[in-house]
Structure 1
Amino acid sequence: MSAFGNTFPFYAGPKPTFPMDTTSAVIITVFFTGLVTFIGILPGIRGKMRLFWLLRVVTSLFIGAATLAVNFSGEWSVGRVNTNTTYKAFSPMRISANVGLQIGLRGINITLTGIPVQQLNETINYNEQFRWQFGQNYAKEYIEALEKGVPDPVLYLAEKFTPNSPCGLYLQYRLAGHYASATLWVAFLCWLLSNVLFSMPALIYGGHMLLATGVFLILSLTFFSTAATLTPMCPLHLGSASLHTQHGPAFWITLATGLLCILLGLAVMVMHRIQPDRLKIFFNQSGLEEMEKIAGPEEGELLDPRYRTSVESPGDQDITLSEAPSEEPPMEEPIRPPEEPQREPESSL
């Protein structure tokens, strides 16, 4: 950052102040629209199957939305502090502000909000993002922030995550973010496959895929936590206060979703072993099994007599349509007189 004469560096261009990731907002909107659409057709389902359908759809949509949203979230590790710190380079003026740090799988996000917002004849409300995902150059974005005149607290935190920083945070969080994101994509594919299997007569395999979804979600937490364990956070001193980070909402949502998937997967596997009929009723597959029993006697299953077809009933095999009794009375044959016996001619003596 440089000064031109007696003029301090300035922030060129509009300030991004939208606090929420638009990608996560789009994902939540899409899944919420699917839920509203299903609720619209829910009254057409009769009986207690309506409750079963509602539980299955709401649970499945929550798992899918959470798995996809946390992958793009920047709140895996968060920290926030109120401090009195410098505002611009080459200036002794200080401000009272709230500084926030959000670490995600694809980069960091730094916020600076004045208390109050209007100070030094300026609106102090900044939201800067620095990314290290594939196709992005973190060092280049940091240099652009220097040229743009970003305030000192933002540049101080961003400098701690540069590749050349002695803290060594860049390499660890970048690799951990890549591996965690990859495992989340695998978990999302397992969730899709579980929904396909649950709609088929393969409930046990759907439970396996749901269990795999939970395992990959927990594995993504392990990758991200490794970065914080192997590389402790450097002391972040902002004026008169220090900023400390902790696990954010995305971390806890991923943990809760992973545990939920593991519990549901194990429940499906246990129910398939001890109560398979009730499990089929819950997934609305009891009718399919009855039809298979009727159509497949060669599998060796005994059929109830009321399910036997006309071909299988031995008593009906000899009845044909041509042998149906006629409604017309039978015609009587005319009575014939008895025939006289023929006499043999008498012989003459």
Structure 2
Amino acid sequence: MAAFGHTFPFYADSKTTFPMDTTSAIIIIIFLTVLVTFIIILPGIRGKMRLFWLLRVVTSLFIGAVILAVNFSSEWSVGQVSTNTSYKAFSSAWISADIGLQVGLRGVNITITGTPVQQLNETINYNEEFTWRLGKNYAEEYAKALEKGLPDPVLYLAEKFTPRSPCGLHHQYRVAGYYASATLWVAFLCWLLANVMFSMPVLVYGGHMLLATGIFQLLALLFYSVGTSLTPPCPLRLGTAVLHTHRGPAFWITLIIGVMCVLLGLAMVVAHRMQPHRVKAFFNQNVEEDHMLEWSPEEEGLPSPHYRSMAESPEPQDIALSEATSSKPGCEEKHPGEPDCAL
């Protein structure tokens, strides 16, 4: 024990924590980079179109960033409690700590922070992740955590989500996460199609795809809510307190953005029917070019012939009948064998 600096065996040093999820940070940086690029070219747009264009870009990028960020977020169901609990195996020492649980679509994240951080001659600050996404085995990750010797609260909460746990949390959260994640990917594809159609003279279909984007986000929330409520909640007792989970920020942000996409899509469809010229002006599209693309009633079927009126037709030329008939016999008399006379 002296070789480990007065710490118990099999316990490594505490893991340094990043202030936020690295995947969410990467997504935010990418979309902010795209936004800055669009802002740089903003001075090249004249008049009121500059404000309309900036509003469209900011709104669209915000919706796309939220759809991707919540898909990789670990805050769909969260819970936190301050308690006094045991810290390590083979020890009767207790600590005072804040313990947090974040459940995402691909796994769980468990944090434990001592209050104060320095207790028992060491720093108590852990942030551990256990995933069940494709290519990962939750049971193997939990076995590695046992070998590593993580603190008791972390192992206790991680054990509740193992496949063999009687709580059944692993099955319901894993299935709900799979369906919700797949539906969010469909919503992201609808968002991409909406942006493509908004850049073309098919604005009404862009409104339909924006409406579909919101509907698929709401369906993801429905799948997650139904999947996680199939079994009664399992009590999570940590020392002298019980940890309760509730819907996290990712759930409510998805709900807000989903409702916003539905309202914007409906408003787009209604405005296109009532005020199509203003909608085209908002999207900086030329109305004259759009009229050229519209089909007239005659063009819906087979092409119909167009006849000239008497005023448009050229003046007829008067040719004497005697001149037209007298040329043929003369040709036959002079040159009866030449092919030109047959004409």
TM-score, normalised to structure 2, is: 0.82
1:104 matched residue in structure 2: 104
Question: For residues 79 and 52 of structure 1, do their structure 2 counterparts lie closer, same or farther at Cα, with a shift above 3 Å needed?
Answer: same
Question: CA shift at 1:292, angstroms?
Answer: 5.0
2:159 matched residue in structure 1: 159
CA contact (8 A) 1:16 1:128 kept: no
CA contact (8 A) 1:98 1:115 kept: yes
Question: CA shift at 1:37, angstroms?
Answer: 1.5
Q: Structure 2 CA distance, aligned partners of 1:173 and 1:298?
A: 52
Tell me the amino acid that sits aligned with residue 131 of structure 2.
R
Q: Structure 1 CA distance, aligned partners of 2:181 and 2:85?
A: 35
Q: Structure 1 CA distance, aligned partners of 2:71 and 2:134?
A: 15
Q: Structure 2 CA distance, aligned partners of 1:232 and 1:111?
A: 24
Tell me the amino acid that sits aligned with residue 64 of structure 1.
G
1:86 matched residue in structure 2: 86
Question: For residues 278 and 127 of structure 1, do their structure 2 counterparts lie closer, same or farther at Cα, with a shift above 3 Å needed?
Answer: same
Question: CA shift at 1:61, angstroms?
Answer: 0.3
Tell me the amino acid that sits aligned with residue 154 of structure 1.
V
Task: Name the SS of the counterpart of 1:231 in structure 2.
Answer: coil
Task: Name the SS of the counterpart of 2:11 in structure 1.
Answer: coil
Answer yes or no: is 1:23 the counterpart of 2:15: no
Task: Name the SS of the counterpart of 1:46 in structure 2.
Answer: coil
Q: Structure 2 CA distance, aligned partners of 1:110 and 1:182?
A: 25
Task: Name the SS of the counterpart of 1:133 in structure 2.
Answer: coil
Percent identity between the two aligned chains: 71
Pairs aligned (count): 297
2:242 matched residue in structure 1: 242
Question: CA shift at 1:33, angstroms?
Answer: 1.1
CA contact (8 A) 1:19 1:127 kept: no
Question: For residues 296 and 23 of structure 1, do their structure 2 counterparts lie closer, same or farther at Cα, with a shift above 3 Å needed?
Answer: closer
TM-score, normalised to structure 1, is: 0.81
Q: Structure 1 CA distance, aligned partners of 2:98 and 2:127?
A: 12
Q: Structure 2 CA distance, aligned partners of 1:13 and 1:115?
A: 18
Question: CA shift at 1:232, angstroms?
Answer: 2.8
Where does 1:111-130 land on structure 2 (aligned, <5 Å)?
111-130=111-130
2:216 matched residue in structure 1: 216
2:48 matched residue in structure 1: 48
Q: Which runs of 5+ in 2 are unaligned?
A: 1-5, 299-310, 315-343
Task: Name the SS of the counterpart of 2:59 in structure 1.
Answer: helix
Per-residue CA distance 1:215-271 (angstroms, 9 max, x = gap)? 110111111112331123211111111111111111111111101100000000000
Answer yes or no: is 1:274 the counterpart of 2:291: no
Answer yes or no: is 1:291 the counterpart of 2:284: no
Question: CA shift at 1:8, angstroms?
Answer: 3.5
Task: Name the SS of the counterpart of 2:229 in structure 1.
Answer: helix
CA contact (8 A) 1:67 1:254 kept: yes
Q: Structure 2 CA distance, aligned partners of 1:15 and 1:230?
A: 35
Q: Structure 2 CA distance, aligned partners of 1:192 and 1:15?
A: 38
Per-residue CA distance 1:53-85 (angstroms, 9 max, x = gap)? 011001000000000111000011100010000
CA contact (8 A) 1:9 1:89 kept: no
CA contact (8 A) 1:198 1:283 kept: yes
CA contact (8 A) 2:14 2:126 kept: no
Answer yes or no: is 1:200 the counterpart of 2:171: no
Tell me the amino acid that sits aligned with residue 289 of structure 2.
M
Q: Structure 1 CA distance, aligned partners of 2:11 and 2:67?
A: 37
Tell me the amino acid that sits aligned with residue 31 of structure 1.
F
Tell me the amino acid that sits aligned with residue 291 of structure 1.
E
Question: CA shift at 1:300, angstroms?
Answer: 7.4
Q: Structure 1 CA distance, aligned partners of 2:174 and 2:290?
A: 53
Q: Structure 2 CA distance, aligned partners of 1:83 and 1:234?
A: 18
Question: CA shift at 1:10, angstroms?
Answer: 3.0
1:188 matched residue in structure 2: 188
CA contact (8 A) 1:172 1:227 kept: yes
Question: CA shift at 1:16, angstroms?
Answer: 4.2
Once the two structures are overlaid, the 10-residue window that deviates more, 259-268 or 9-18, is: 9-18
Question: For residues 48 and 145 of structure 1, do their structure 2 counterparts lie closer, same or farther at Cα, with a shift above 3 Å needed?
Answer: same
Task: Name the SS of the counterpart of 1:211 in structure 2.
Answer: helix
2:329 matched residue in structure 1: none
Task: Name which one, 1 or 2, has greater alpha-carbon Rg.
Answer: 1
Q: Structure 2 CA distance, aligned partners of 1:292 and 1:152?
A: 67
For the aligned residues, what is the CA RMSD? 2.2
Question: For residues 298 and 101 of structure 1, do their structure 2 counterparts lie closer, same or farther at Cα, with a shift above 3 Å needed?
Answer: closer
Question: CA shift at 1:18, angstroms?
Answer: 1.8
Question: For residues 292 and 85 of structure 1, do their structure 2 counterparts lie closer, same or farther at Cα, with a shift above 3 Å needed?
Answer: closer
Q: Structure 1 CA distance, aligned partners of 2:26 and 2:7?
A: 42
Where does 1:297-336 land on structure 2 (aligned, <5 Å)?
299=296
Per-residue CA distance 1:62-114 (angstroms, 9 max, x = gap)? 00000011100001110001000000012110000000000000000000000
Q: Structure 2 CA distance, aligned partners of 1:19 and 1:241?
A: 26
Question: CA shift at 1:298, angstroms?
Answer: 8.6
